[in-house]
A and B are shown apart, each in its own frame.
Chain A
């Protein structure tokens, strides 16, 4: 399998043209469109950009770090003149007047944007099933052959056309410039009724499910997701890709539509750790538009060759609290095998304790709801986004705009958050959750102080669930189970990564999580690269099933 570095080399040496690369990705995107990974596709623009990239390669001058590399971006990153909907009716048709800092940095280095990827509405979910565009489907074990017959490229245009019909009034959109080069999918009903309910397919995980699927199916080389409680690592684990959550503050959030400001981090999905490092190298570092970003001088993130990584110098911690009663035997075994790989290679492996971890998920949900309640207050239909047609009073306008615009999950969290923030509840819920959050951070700090470099844990309880099983429980219950192993990391602001390890007995990918120390992202990525080379995850299995 080719990694980013090899592709860039081929482009430079004329063994591959940027146009051909782009076309390959577009074709894969079409072949896999039933997975519903994208909510808008900018293929025409991508082709034009690829042409330009090729000209630059031909000239041999000013070749940038990601020249001609197809990328995908989650639909909660602001992108100029491309719809940024957060998979919500509230922002359907919203075309931001600016690019998120991370998007801009990627484009400035020559990356080509294939499109915006599907997600849970406002990133509230762990399955990518709560989207107005319908659920994202896991490519693993997906019956591609049956589907591709009915869904050739013509289907595309039909969907694009249906995009325009909507019962709502979007008069408050700041930009009327509906670029016709963009293909936007629309309406969940089409998607779900068609086949989804009847078919046995697996969830992609979430909330960055679209980005994980896009990378897994190679319709792009790398993708941006966002990780608040595990939203990058969770789908990476289910779709068998690398999913990386940098240290909070290392990467700018400017332009990322917030879920929980104090935990949101732009994340990277890719096939290899080196690819992630290359993208991190482009997007990391201080941004004057995000006051919470580091001001330290930038250091490059290029990783050493595997042969030069001295695994014996690493000390791996195995937090015992991750041995939860609900952990299936298979996951436990995979985890054990991973620990053995490190130990057998001469790394020091020790059991460690995170005594407050068990309280993390509860506190996470309280803090999440509080910030959601606050962050969602700007969606009032006045300046941008959906506006209801009610004109009885300003209050009535707010109420119906927000009722129509948000799904039940979003509304539920807003309600809970406002309840927690009431003067009489503030101490009991918000402050208490913050106190516990500090204890959790302290737990991690203590472990690292003792000399542990990284923690090794499962990313999720098990491999991906079938859609039918997944939706048998509500969003809140699901998130509590899905985010169990990932959200403590966000509470502490640490870097963490999902590395795909193997294929489960049911034929689905299984990943493991490595957690690093604050701002020691390079060290985390280095050991991740070593581990990745030991496990040698079978990417080709999936590619073969698509082709």
Chain B
């Protein structure tokens, strides 16, 4: 058992996350105003968004459907009746003086998400399967933005974002490191993108993370927590949480107290910074939103009469239209193509990649591993270096497919394939067979021809040959290299090995 004496080795971080995901719907949660990112300041604002007196909220069906689909994907219990509440606080970019949210009866509760976190063990990173509980999913409004002009001592308000629909996903405190939390966010992001409810652009604020962080000794009560708000990148999540854990441990070890406070993360210094105190002592004076009826969802069994399909949200219908989720896709890739978990994760982990891969493999009907290697090690390496998305790849799936066919027919060697890719990256728009033809890169598979090269190499490399014959078998590879050099890299490697060995042994 642990005692009160501080053990410097046994601290454990405890992290719970609140994720705000902007719904990928082109109007706001309660108004018809647009939601375009980067639109001119205050151009996406309805009378309701600026809280003109007498305006009333009208729920956006698209946002409700997005939340239901997310709830289904996150294995949640869906509340067939949910309610809206007002959360009061004064802030210049919150025109109504309150935010409409779902405090008491959210749209979904009690879900979970399985994810894989990489853990370092003996210098290697190995995937560890984890699960985090989802406490609830609620619909709520985003706030506007305040811009502070220090020089002219004034604040400017942009209400474009005010009232945009958010889904707040709240997890249990199921994480112990920043890496774990980040791995969860990555998986969540992938799911939300797959089900098309969030564009996943963290840098544009489409997905923002608040982390509640505390530390304790395992087996003892949880420590006082701090909240790090508005993390808008995966690295931010990792770094902010890990910094905060270290900071808290170091404070506690110095005998200091941790205060329940709100912090922000400074990306430049890599440190968490305390925000204004007023954030700490808020009483939000929650109250039911009187202008919205309880939000009712239906199933095939409870469909109301007299209401048309576009007036209701049918959970069963949405469940049926759910696409394959990342976990299912990964399993399918592993089963069907015999790839490893990590390889499957790689293909599923980036939007569009799996489709590209499948295009190539299904068409060629062979060699998924070869295709994977080309894609992961050659094509993606190039795309990442040049910051190009897979959709805009200069080597489209059709051209890669042609390349794989050439390889599997042994028309070219792997080295040649790499050269063909280079040529295509550099702007050659022809199909691989034409490129191979043009450069005369076809592999030499005629045994007589290869025998010629072998004999030639033997004649020209007396020293190596006598070393080999004298028992230094290692020099065989040097001789192979000589053969390839003479054949300009086009000789089929297996044949070269075979024939060269035979010739040497015959001597």
Evaluate whether A374 and B98 lie within 8 angstroms (CB atoms) in the complex, with A98-B47, A383-B50, A426-B286 already known: yes
Determine which of A289, A370, A384 lies in contact with B52 in the assembled complex, contact meaning CB atoms within 8 Å.
A384
Q: How far is the CB of B288 from the nearest CB of chain A, in Å? A: 8
The reply to whether A291 and B51 form a contact with Cβ atoms under 8 Å apart is no
Q: Is B58 an interface residue (CB 8 A)?
A: yes
Q: Is A406 an interface residue (CB 8 A)?
A: no
Q: Is A365 an interface residue (CB 8 A)?
A: no
The reply to whether B51 and A78 form a contact with Cβ atoms under 8 Å apart is no
A421 and chain B: residue at smallest CB distance: B285
Q: Is B37 an interface residue (CB 8 A)?
A: no
The reply to whether B47 and A395 form a contact with Cβ atoms under 8 Å apart is no
Q: Which residues of B contact A291 (CB under 8 A)?
A: 56-59, 291-293
* Residues 449-471 of B contacting A (Cβ, < 8 Å): none
Evaluate whether A258 and B47 lie within 8 angstroms (CB atoms) in the complex, with A374-B287, A382-B157 already known: no
The reply to whether B283 and A91 form a contact with Cβ atoms under 8 Å apart is no
Q: Is B97 an interface residue (CB 8 A)?
A: yes
The reply to whether A258 and B58 form a contact with Cβ atoms under 8 Å apart is no
Determine which of A98, A377, A395 lies in contact with B88 in the assembled complex, contact meaning CB atoms within 8 Å.
A377
Q: Which residues of B contact A98 (CB under 8 A)?
A: 47, 52
Interface digits, A60-89 against B, CB 8 Å rule (1 contact, 0 not)? 000000000000000001100000001000
Q: Is A508 an interface residue (CB 8 A)?
A: no
The reply to whether B286 and A421 form a contact with Cβ atoms under 8 Å apart is yes
The reply to whether A380 and B97 form a contact with Cβ atoms under 8 Å apart is yes
Q: Which residues of A contact B135 (CB under 8 A)?
A: none
Interface digits, A226-262 against B, CB 8 Å rule (1 contact, 0 not)? 0000000000000000000000000001111110111
Evaluate whether A261 and B291 lie within 8 angstroms (CB atoms) in the complex, with A373-B285, A378-B51 already known: yes
Determine which of A256, A261, A383, A394 lies in contact with B155 in the assembled complex, contact meaning CB atoms within 8 Å.
A394
In Å, the complex CA distance between A78 and B51 comes to 13
Q: Which residues of B contact A288 (CB under 8 A)?
A: 58
Q: Is B270 an interface residue (CB 8 A)?
A: no
Q: How far is the CB of B63 from the nearest CB of chain A, in Å? A: 14
B53 and chain A: residue at smallest CB distance: A257
Evaluate whether A430 and B290 lie within 8 angstroms (CB atoms) in the complex, with A78-B54, A254-B54 already known: no
A419 and chain B: residue at smallest CB distance: B285
The reply to whether B58 and A422 form a contact with Cβ atoms under 8 Å apart is no
The reply to whether B283 and A422 form a contact with Cβ atoms under 8 Å apart is yes
In Å, the complex CA distance between A257 and B292 comes to 16
Q: Which residues of A contact B86 (CB under 8 A)?
A: 374
In Å, the complex CA distance between A255 and B55 comes to 6
Q: Is B92 an interface residue (CB 8 A)?
A: yes
Q: Is B259 an interface residue (CB 8 A)?
A: no
In Å, the complex CA distance between A291 and B92 comes to 27
Determine which of A91, A261, A377, A426 lies in contact with B96 in the assembled complex, contact meaning CB atoms within 8 Å.
A377
Q: Is A352 an interface residue (CB 8 A)?
A: no
Determine which of A100, A260, A374, A383 lies in contact with B54 in the assembled complex, contact meaning CB atoms within 8 Å.
A100
Interface digits, A391-414 against B, CB 8 Å rule (1 contact, 0 not)? 100110010000000000000000
Q: Which residues of A contact B51 (CB under 8 A)?
A: 378, 383
Q: Which residues of A contact B56 (CB under 8 A)?
A: 253-254, 289-292
Q: How far is the CB of B283 from the nearest CB of chain A, in Å? A: 5
Interface band, chain A: 35 or more
Q: How far is the CB of B279 from the nearest CB of chain A, in Å? A: 14
The reply to whether B50 and A384 form a contact with Cβ atoms under 8 Å apart is yes
A99 and chain B: residue at smallest CB distance: B54
In Å, the complex CA distance between A113 and B369 comes to 78
Q: Is B95 an interface residue (CB 8 A)?
A: yes
Q: Which residues of B contact A394 (CB under 8 A)?
A: 90, 92, 155
* Residues 266-316 of B contacting A (Cβ, < 8 Å): 283-287, 290-293
Q: Is A453 an interface residue (CB 8 A)?
A: no
* Residues 253-301 of A contacting B (Cβ, < 8 Å): 253-258, 260-262, 288-292
The reply to whether B90 and A398 form a contact with Cβ atoms under 8 Å apart is yes
In Å, the complex CA distance between A34 and B143 comes to 47
In Å, the complex CA distance between A493 and B88 comes to 26
The reply to whether A96 and B54 form a contact with Cβ atoms under 8 Å apart is yes
Q: How far is the CB of B154 from the nearest CB of chain A, in Å? A: 8
Q: Is A371 an interface residue (CB 8 A)?
A: yes
Q: Which residues of A contact B47 (CB under 8 A)?
A: 97-98
A-B contact count (CB 8 A): 106
Evaluate whether A418 and B285 lie within 8 angstroms (CB atoms) in the complex, with A96-B52, A288-B58, A383-B51 already known: yes
In Å, the complex CA distance between A374 and B90 comes to 11
* Residues 80-124 of A contacting B (Cβ, < 8 Å): 86, 91, 96-98, 100
In Å, the complex CA distance between A262 and B287 comes to 12
The reply to whether B54 and A256 form a contact with Cβ atoms under 8 Å apart is yes
In Å, the complex CA distance between A96 and B285 comes to 29
Evaluate whether A423 and B54 lie within 8 angstroms (CB atoms) in the complex, with A291-B291, A398-B90 already known: no
Q: Which residues of A contact B155 (CB under 8 A)?
A: 394
The reply to whether B53 and A383 form a contact with Cβ atoms under 8 Å apart is no
In Å, the complex CA distance between A394 and B285 comes to 21
Evaluate whether A422 and B290 lie within 8 angstroms (CB atoms) in the complex, with A98-B47, A374-B86, A383-B50 already known: no
Evaluate whether A371 and B290 lie within 8 angstroms (CB atoms) in the complex, with A91-B53, A257-B54, A421-B88 already known: yes
Interface digits, A325-364 against B, CB 8 Å rule (1 contact, 0 not)? 0000000000000000000000000000000000000000
The reply to whether A380 and B90 form a contact with Cβ atoms under 8 Å apart is yes
The reply to whether A382 and B92 form a contact with Cβ atoms under 8 Å apart is yes
Q: Which residues of B contact A423 (CB under 8 A)?
A: 283-286
The reply to whether A422 and B285 form a contact with Cβ atoms under 8 Å apart is yes
Q: Which residues of B contact A97 (CB under 8 A)?
A: 47, 52
Q: How far is the CB of B292 from the nearest CB of chain A, in Å? A: 6
Q: How far is the CB of B384 from the nearest CB of chain A, in Å? A: 45
The reply to whether A255 and B54 form a contact with Cβ atoms under 8 Å apart is yes
The reply to whether A378 and B58 form a contact with Cβ atoms under 8 Å apart is no
Q: Which residues of B contact A260 (CB under 8 A)?
A: 290
Q: Which residues of A contact B292 (CB under 8 A)?
A: 291-292
Q: How far is the CB of A140 from the nearest CB of chain B, in Å? A: 32
In Å, the complex CA distance between A254 and B46 comes to 14
Interface digits, B26-55 against A, CB 8 Å rule (1 contact, 0 not)? 000000000000000000000100111111
A430 and chain B: residue at smallest CB distance: B287
Q: How far is the CB of A355 from the nearest CB of chain B, in Å? A: 26
The reply to whether B293 and A292 form a contact with Cβ atoms under 8 Å apart is yes
Most buried by A among B55, B56, B153: B56
Q: Which residues of B contact A418 (CB under 8 A)?
A: 285
B45 and chain A: residue at smallest CB distance: A383
In Å, the complex CA distance between A370 and B285 comes to 9
The reply to whether B53 and A258 form a contact with Cβ atoms under 8 Å apart is yes
In Å, the complex CA distance between A291 and B58 comes to 6
The reply to whether B97 and A289 form a contact with Cβ atoms under 8 Å apart is no
In Å, the complex CA distance between A237 and B188 comes to 62
The reply to whether A370 and B287 form a contact with Cβ atoms under 8 Å apart is yes
Q: How far is the CB of A253 from the nearest CB of chain B, in Å? A: 7
Q: How far is the CB of A405 from the nearest CB of chain B, in Å? A: 12
A395 and chain B: residue at smallest CB distance: B90
Q: Which residues of A contact B291 (CB under 8 A)?
A: 261, 290-292
Q: How far is the CB of B150 from the nearest CB of chain A, in Å? A: 14
Q: How far is the CB of A18 from the nearest CB of chain B, in Å? A: 29
In Å, the complex CA distance between A201 and B341 comes to 88
Interface digits, A377-390 against B, CB 8 Å rule (1 contact, 0 not)? 11110111000000
In Å, the complex CA distance between A382 and B52 comes to 11
9 closest Cβ contacts across the A-B interface?
A377-B97, A421-B285, A261-B290, A262-B290, A378-B51, A257-B53, A255-B54, A383-B50, A78-B54
Apart from the given pairs A261-B291, A377-B96, A421-B285, 13 other A-B contacts in the complex at a CB distance below 8 Å = A78-B52, A254-B55, A254-B56, A290-B291, A291-B57, A371-B287, A373-B285, A380-B95, A380-B97, A382-B157, A394-B92, A398-B90, A421-B286
User: What are 21 A-to-B residue pairs whose CB atoms are below 8 Å?
Assistant: A77-B54, A78-B53, A91-B53, A256-B54, A260-B290, A289-B58, A291-B56, A291-B292, A292-B290, A292-B291, A292-B292, A374-B86, A377-B90, A380-B92, A380-B97, A383-B50, A384-B53, A421-B286, A423-B283, A423-B286, A426-B285
Give A contacts to B, CB under 8 Å.
Answer: 77-78, 86, 91, 96-98, 100, 174, 253-258, 260-262, 288-292, 370-371, 373-374, 376-380, 382-384, 391, 394-395, 398, 418, 421-423, 426, 430
